[in-house]
């Protein structure tokens, strides 16, 4: 597992949450349901939210997300997790016009500017995705980029979906560069440049990530 909660982990631990990682498709899905977590973070991964023909476990994951959203239980989706949330809410997920990989700013909507994502205003955040989605009915768009109109949305006070990586911090970033080696090569990315950018930006992003999550937990 090379995508984890990153800079979110200390915030959650400080508030007394016990963190449990569940690798969908590897660990027993019934175990996750039995735990009935107070918070559910749906993290990223290098597959498509629409690839249940290759990864049948996605259907179980979608069902769980849909149940939690309908029950107004807290869900925070990141990258693939955001795409799965969009699909669980009835929206279509599909390949975007281009991959977004690297550090670049997002444009916050009026609603985004007063949401917990305001902590990333005028900041280059970490992007790492090729798919995108339509905005679900009832959701509020919070952020966009030129390539990806729907970078983030809120659904009620209990659900937040973000295609970029607000959790990214400087600890563990090298795992990303190793784990995504093939994708980076296919996209023609300069890994050394990405690593250096990470050294310059991720420490500050970790502070902003902590502020973002702290505010969201108050909702």
User: Which listed residue (9, 165, 180, 212) is catalytic?
Assistant: 165
Instruction: From 170, 167, 175, select the one nearest 197 (Cα to Cα).
Output: 170
Task: Give catalytic status of residue 79 as yes or no.
Answer: yes
Task: Give catalytic status of residue 165 as yes or no.
Answer: yes
User: Which listed residue (3, 9, 61, 167) is catalytic?
Assistant: 167
By CB atoms closer than 10 A (0-12, 13-18, 19+), residue 82 is buried
Beta strands per DSSP E along the chain = 40-42, 75-78, 93-105, 107-108, 124-133, 140-144, 152-155, 159-162
Q: Are 42 and 14 in contact (CB under 8 A)?
A: no
User: Which listed residue (3, 61, 79, 100) is catalytic?
Assistant: 79
Lookup: tokens for 122: 């005028």
Chain centroid to Cα 169, Å, comes to 13
Chain centroid to Cα 55, Å, comes to 19
DSSP 95: E
Active site residues: 79, 165, 167
């Amino acid at each position: 597992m090379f995508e984890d909660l990153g800079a979110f982990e200390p915030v959650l631990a400080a508030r007394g949450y016990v963190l449990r990682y569940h690798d969908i498709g590897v660990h027993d899905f019934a175990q996750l349901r039995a735990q009935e977590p107070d918070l559910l973070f749906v993290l990223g991964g290098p597959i498509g939210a629409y690839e249940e023909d290759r990864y049948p476990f996605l259907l179980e994951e979608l069902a769980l997300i849909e149940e939690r959203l309908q029950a107004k239980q807290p869900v925070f989706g990141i990258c693939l997790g955001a795409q799965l949330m969009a699909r669980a809410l009835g929206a279509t997920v599909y390949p975007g016009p281009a991959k977004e990989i690297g550090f670049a700013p997002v444009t916050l909507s009026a609603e985004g500017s007063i949401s917990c994502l305001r902590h990333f205003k005028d900041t280059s955040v970490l992007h790492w995705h090729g798919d995108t989605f339509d905005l679900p009915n009832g959701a509020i768009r919070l952020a966009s980029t030129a390539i990806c109109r729907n970078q983030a949305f809120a659904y009620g006070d209990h659900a937040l979906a973000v295609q970029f990586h607000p959790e990214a911090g400087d600890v563990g970033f090298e795992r990303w560069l190793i784990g995504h080696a093939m994708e980076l090569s296919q996209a023609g990315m300069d890994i050394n440049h990405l690593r250096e950018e990470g050294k310059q930006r991720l420490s500050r992003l970790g502070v902003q990530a902590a502020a973002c999550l702290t505010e969201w937990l108050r909702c």
